[in-house]
Amino acid sequence: MPVRVPSRLFPLCFALLSATLLLACTHGIVLAQTGQPGSLSIKDPLLSGATRAQTAEEKVMTGIESARRGAHEVAVRYFTEAIDSGTLSRYDMGTALKARALAWFDRGIMEESLKDFNAAAAILPSDPDIFHNRANIYLKMGRNAEAQADLQNAQDLYFDRGSMWLEKDDMDKAISDFSKAILLDAKDADAYLHRGIALKIKGDLDKAIQDYTKSIELQPDATAFSNRGNAWLKKGDLARAKADYDKAESLEPNYPHTYFNRSQLFLQQGDLQHALQDINKAIAINTQDAQAYAARGEIYARLGNADQAEQEFRKARQLDPQVVLPTTAAGGMQ
């Protein structure tokens, strides 16, 4: 997977997510999406006396529900009680401050909202929503340089968090964060590429191809072409897949994944000699790729060279005991 280069200086657009539409989660605390104003007011607390929130965490939850119903004054009161209690964990304190900042914002009290976002940012410096929303306040105050800095920071943090979700196999959250990164910088080729990867893993090949294509338009490189080739291969369009692999090879001859991927295309076509040539190139570039040795073992097995195939499977297992071996290895490996 491609590595992100942080702190790029791409120009940012000023399209902003509404502060009330951002979500955040912590230990049982969820910032919910704000709906239409409800019937609550400062004189109409959310809970009856018998079930009124007691712990600081319960008060934060009650504040969130109040804000969701449009009772922002009630929400501020509950958030303040929770924050002043001194019993919240550091992470929950940051979340409560962020939630109160949103409630202040929805009441139109920008200075208090800014103070709470500043405090929340000090506690949760990796939360992109904080910086995204604080930029909104700076814009309303005419502090454009500070807004631009926060938007750049938010854009990078959305990408970083999306990459984390991708590594954790949570594709929905990854796609959401990459989409937010793209909203802030529509020319971010890496964000399109990585969202395409998440979409392909989810099985949405057409949208994945759209994102890979956009990434290629912005910044043609071997990684994007090779990944788009994989999507075409998955769709059964072998001609387009090979064209993308060939283009990837021409752009970066030392990118091993291109050769691995193209070897799988040749294997699917039954062209075992070309499959072997490509997998040999992949292994020559990256001698520690267990999956490549497993793939070469499958090619040798199909060529009828059982002894060489077994050697390849053993090498793959030595490098990674959890490597996925092809079904052709089932009879020969212990």
Structure tokens at 70: 């449009």
pLDDT for 327: 77
CB distance 295 to 260 below 8 Å? yes
Q: What is the CATH number of the domain that holds 132?
A: 1.25.40.10
CB crowding 169-199: b at 16 or more within 10 Å, else e: eebeebbbbbebbbbbbbebbbbbbbbbbbb
329 is a domain residue: no
Mean pLDDT calculated for residue range 1-14: 36
Whether 286 is in a domain gets the answer no
In a domain, 248, yes or no: no
In a domain, 169, yes or no: yes
Provide the domain count of the chain: 1
Q: Is the pLDDT of residue 106 over 70?
A: yes
Would 98 be classed as within a structural domain? Answer: yes
Query: Lowest-pLDDT range, 153-167, 239-253, 256-270, 319-333?
Result: 319-333
Mean confidence (pLDDT) of the chain? 86
As a whole number, mean pLDDT of residues 37-42 equals 32
**Residue 94 domain flag:** yes
Judge whether 314 lies within some domain: no
Is 246 contained in some domain?
A: no
Residue 54: per-residue pLDDT: 81
| Confidence at residue 292, expressed as pLDDT on a 0 to 100 scale | 98
pLDDT 10s digits, 148-169: 999 999 999 999 999 999 999 9
List the domain range (segments joined by +) for residue 109.
Answer: 1-219
Please give the pLDDT value at position 9.
30
